[in-house]
């Protein structure tokens, strides 16, 4: 809430028999109102859609940055500058930002900061987790799960996934080999029997 202060007005400024009319122009001043209603949707393993509602820009055109929390109450800039192009000075305007290049199965804390010529204000952050993604690495013949922790990629190798992926191939190959061996043995027995009978 903003207060209006009228300073340096005393009773000596007025007379009992004279009416005075004063005109004042109220001008908003200060940083914009904080963005609100942050919401994350359409979450995949590497992307998500962020939306929010802006507040009054206090008469000074505002703009936004999407921020990513990195722990310890610190945030880094995720997006480029997003300008408020609304005709309502930001009042109840809706904005969206597509977050891309995220790491799979990773918890994110996201906020939006609004700025104008007078200052800045940040919205309370929201949290979400990206979906997991399993990738078959043919070069290393391993199935791994790609995640992201403290700015580094970590690969958790899952041997169970490898067995599950290739076990059917081994079983089929073993069955085919057994059939070939069985046919070969049968051919040898028939040939031996024929040679014995002829002798």
88 domain residue, yes or no: yes
pLDDT value of position 183: 74
Q: Taking residues 160-177, report their average pLDDT.
A: 72
85 domain residue, yes or no: yes
Each residue of 109-130: b (16+ CB within 10 Å) or e? ebbbbbbbeeeebebebbebeb
pLDDT value of position 11: 54
Number of domains forming the structure of the chain? 1
6 domain residue, yes or no: no
pLDDT value of position 157: 47
Domain housing 101: 31-129
Question: 116 with 130: CB under 8 angstroms?
Answer: no
Cβ count near 39 (within 10 Å): 12
Closest Cα to residue 62, out of 51, 53, 71, 50?
53
**pLDDT greater than 80 at residue 142:** no
83 domain residue, yes or no: yes
**pLDDT greater than 80 at residue 175:** yes
- In terms of pLDDT, which residue wins out, 134 or 105? 105
**pLDDT greater than 80 at residue 105:** yes
Q: Report the share of the chain in percent with pLDDT over 70.
A: 64
Q: pLDDT per residue over 19-59, tens digit each? A: 666 676 677 789 999 999 999 999 999 999 999 999 999 99
Mean pLDDT, rounded, of the chain: 80
162 domain residue, yes or no: no
125 domain residue, yes or no: yes
Paired with 41 in beta bridges are: 49
Q: What's the CATH code of the domain at 120?
A: 2.60.40.10
**How far is the C-alpha of 177 from the C-alpha of 18, rounded, in Å?**
116
**How far is the C-alpha of 86 from the C-alpha of 94, rounded, in Å?**
9
pLDDT value of position 103: 95
Question: 143 with 158: CB under 8 angstroms?
Answer: yes
Question: 36 with 55: CB under 8 angstroms?
Answer: yes
Could you tell me what percentage of the chain is helix, strand and coil, using 3-state DSSP and rounding each to the nearest 5?
20, 35, 45
Q: Taking residues 97-126, report their average pLDDT.
A: 97
**pLDDT greater than 70 at residue 196:** no
pTM, entire model: 0.61
72 domain residue, yes or no: yes
119 domain residue, yes or no: yes
């Amino acid at each position: 809430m903003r207060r209006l202060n009228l300073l340096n007005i005393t009773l000596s400024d007025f007379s009992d028999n004279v009416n005075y009319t004063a005109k004042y122009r109220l001008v908003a001043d200060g940083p914009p109102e904080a963005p609100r209603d942050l919401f994350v949707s359409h979450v995949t393993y590497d992307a998500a859609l962020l939306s929010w509602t802006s507040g009054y820009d206090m008469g000074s055109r505002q703009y936004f940055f999407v921020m990513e929390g990195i722990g310890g109450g610190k945030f880094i800039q995720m997006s480029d500058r997003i300008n408020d192009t609304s005709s309502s000075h930001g009042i109840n305007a809706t904005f969206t930002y597509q977050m891309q290049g995220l790491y799979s199965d990773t918890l994110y804390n996201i906020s939006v900061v609004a700025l104008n010529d007078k200052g800045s204000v940040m919205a309370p952050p929201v949290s979400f987790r990206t979906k997991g993604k399993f990738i078959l690495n043919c070069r290393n013949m391993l199935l791994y799960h790609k995640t992201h922790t403290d700015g580094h990629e970590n690969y958790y190798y899952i041997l169970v996934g490898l067995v599950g992926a290739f076990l059917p191939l081994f079983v089929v190959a073993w069955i085919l080999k057994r059939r070939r061996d069985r046919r070969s043995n049968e051919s040898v027995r028939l040939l031996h029997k024929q040679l014995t009978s002829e002798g």
